[in-house]
A and B are shown apart, each in its own frame.
Chain A
Amino acid sequence: AQTVTQSQPEMSVQEAETVTLSCTYDTSESDYYLFWYKQPPSRQMILVIRQEAYKQQNATENRFSVNFQKAAKSFSLKISDSQLGDAAMYFCASRDTSGSRLTFGEGTQLTVNP
């Protein structure tokens, strides 16, 4: 079974600044995928970024990047040049390669201050 933990219920950042959201996970699988999802007030789940565990290189998507530490089972999300539209609930999630079931963390509510 996989578990995902987000220890920061709430975070805030000033517009244009950088913020890092933390996530740790546990799995017995040797290969798996990790995700960050964004859920804005509309509550539509939006995929922000994905990391394949077998890849050592950290994934990046424009202003979003991850710090994937496989040995430490850590998967943090860095948002650079924060924008007001980044305000949302962010969920970290994991999935093994044998199925498509996702395991979600508790979520981090991000506030972006103008």
Chain B
Amino acid sequence: GAVVSQHPSWVICKSGTSVKIECRSLDFQATTMFWYRQFPKQSLMLMATSNEGSKATYEQGVEKDKFLINHASLTLSTLTVTSAHPEDSSFYICSGGRQGVIQDEQYFGPGTRLTVT
């Protein structure tokens, strides 16, 4: 199966700083990548969808200037949380999808736990 990695798996940052999370598709080209946020014991909330070479499409209520998403290549997407605050502490999950493979599912990364102190 297709493999997606995320780095780092866990990060602690101080309030007001920025942190970047990388999402890589290791053995396939992810034409579309998705970023989710998950609070404890809750479901995954889609934050944004990004297509390679295009600007990300953000879900309603997600601040695009705070959560910067870049999808510069078919194997790498990054999420930068700018000016992080304690309320941004959460579990962030990315997934990749392959264009044209209609029956294909999304392939999920292992997630990144962000703690803002």
Contacts and interface: CB of A to CB of B under 8 A. Distances in A.
B93 A47 contact: no
Contacts of B34: 100-102
A74 B44 CA distance: 21
B43 A107 contact: yes
B43 A44 contact: no
Q: How large is the interface on B (under 10, 10 to 19, 20 to 34, 35 or more residues)?
A: 20 to 34
Interface of A: 33, 35, 42-45, 47, 50, 52, 89, 91, 95, 97, 100-102, 104-107, 109
Contacts, number: 44
Interface of B: 32, 34, 38, 41-44, 46, 49, 91, 93, 95, 97, 102-106, 108, 110-111
A33 B110 contact: no
Given A52-B103, A100-B106, A45 B43 contact: no
Contacts of A106: 42-43
Nearest to B49: A101
A42 B110 contact: yes
Interface centre among B44, B91, B103 (most CB of A within 10 A): B44
B44 A100 contact: no
10 contacts: A33-B103, A35-B105, A43-B110, A43-B111, A44-B111, A47-B105, A50-B105, A100-B32, A102-B34, A106-B43
A94 to B, nearest CB: 12
A44 B42 contact: no
Contacts of B95: 45
B102 A45 contact: no
A106 B38 CA distance: 11
A90 to B, nearest CB: 11
